[in-house]
Structure 1
Amino acid sequence: MSDFLTRMKQAAQADKKTIVLPEGEDPRTLEAARTILAEDLAHIVILGDPQTIDVPGATVLNPKTDERCEAYAQKFAELRAKKGVTIEQARAQVMDATYFGTMMVKMGDADGLVSGACHSTADTLRPALQILKTAPGTKLVSAFFVMCTKTPEFGADGTLIFADCGLNIAPTADELAEIALASAQSWTSFMGDVEPRVAMLSYSTMGSAGGDVAKKVQEATAFAQERAPQLALDGDLQLDAALVPEVAALKAPQSPVAGKANVLVFPDLEAGNIGYKLVQRFGAAEAYGPILQGIASPVNDLSRGCSADDIVGVVAITAVQAQMSSR
């Protein structure tokens, strides 16, 4: 187990939060719930059929029959009134497990939600944006992976953040800057004893190549540096220049980030998604996420290829996010 995950688990145990798992029909979810309870990481609510779910210590609720359905429907109708949602539509909507679970977070009956083992990112994100909204001051919701690699010379003893690898398909320069700043803040939240060093990745290093993508990354770097001049952030940087000191000395000798980056910001979702999966599969890295940033309360997505252990890790991270949001 990585040092990062050990840190997250210890923090989760110190102040236990209630996390909802809406996918009670998924065997990986049930296996993860048993592990979470055995390790005392969180209070767990599983949504599904109490007659078929056997996880001692968990609270199992049926969204279709729970006594809170009407109160949740009334609140959901109120939240979505401007969109023309009627109370009848709201009653039907909150019977969906992910909507019901998100309403639990909204109403203070839970502290966070983890879903996506058998649902798409859109299925997890849509109710979160409709019900919880974005955090104050947030322009963009984005996603990152915490990558715990077997290469301690990179990042913080092998741990890095990769963003955005799960949500924004083709971010503009302004959006890329927002992703970079949010990711730096997320790094600080989890790894407060290590300064974030953000590399804005491209196929170009410090303008060495032309093209629209490299230009976008250069503009995004300028926007981010203007908004957070104190942050160690630089670009455009090729991956090897961002991580390898010897390459950085040749390609970007004046950069405060090159050769020692721990937050990697990819130019688009295609690069980010392929990049994290290459590191995960070829490098046997632990990949926790996609972790969502910018939502008012902690809601996190899972890769549909996740394992039960992956779910345990994301629940621990979500619990820590809930601790931070309650401060």
Structure 2
Amino acid sequence: MHLAKSHVEISDQSARYMDFLRRENMPHSFMFLGAPGSLKELHAMLFAKEIIKKNDNNPHVEKKLEQSQHPDLRVLEVEPKASYHSIANIKKSMDEITLNPFESKVRVVVIFDADKMLPPAANALLKTLEEPVSSTVFILLGSSESSFLQTISSRCTKILFQLFTKEQIEKQLMHEEHVSLEVARVIAKYSFGSLDAAKSLLKQTRPYPQELFVDFLKDLDLLSYNGFLTKFDLFDKALAKDTNLSNEEVFEIFLKWIRDVYCIGACQSEEYLYFDEEKKHLLRQSNMFTMSFDEIVELLLSIKGANLCNVKLKSCIEALYLKLHEKST
């Protein structure tokens, strides 16, 4: 996996794990946690390389690391077609670490998306963590602690990574991508704290599909079924022309919007809103939903599951609307 270095300052976050390099007894397993776009992958690779450099006196160690050719730095990624780590790959890697490192005193195993394992693979990893090899350090990456087996999580030192503020993303885009402040503000608004999402949006043409979907949500009226269908048809046609917005992102935006509706209804504050510029629409809808937030999240996840089983997005959103409409009348 190639990770380009970002201009955004990372020293504040890196200080929290680089301190372990100075300790005599460093933990054998770490867990780097954060949402997509929080740069946990970049931090994990920086940390892994520093561990190797500290334990390898070879004058060519830095060159080997930069060229991804160091034999003692192992990076595991999910199977491309299956989107999870196979039991075969995990077992093979766990067997390999019983051997001595090749050049460094310590081997480092970085597992991207380590929370995407079926039980047999997770149990194979757990067995190794339960009986750690002194010459191996694990760095597991995932979105949250709850997405791991508790028995795996309890054996890891956890480092949390935060998403970026809108201001940080605006500054990054203007400095590195040379975009105007106006464009940077729009992109920062719809990237939800993720630099990866921001750079992906840069490749698209306006109006961005994220922007169109938020426009659809702003006009959402649970009492007008025909109006709902008309507005969603417009968005659905726009989405068909632009494949850069995945169904996963549609559900993610929907969830963030609903969360903001409940948040502003509870405290009338803009401080913690994703869509702070849409306060008027959020306030209007705050009296519209009669279901609890937990009920809506559960409903949204079930609809999302149907979409993963190849039910069309339009049918899923329509089913979601009908359920919300039923509860509001």
Superposition TM-score, scaled by structure 2 size: 0.28
Which structure has more RCO (C-alpha within 8 Å, separation ≥ 6)?
1
Higher normalized strand content (fraction of residues): 1
Return the structure number with greater helix share: 2
- The structure having more radius of gyration, on CA atoms, is 2
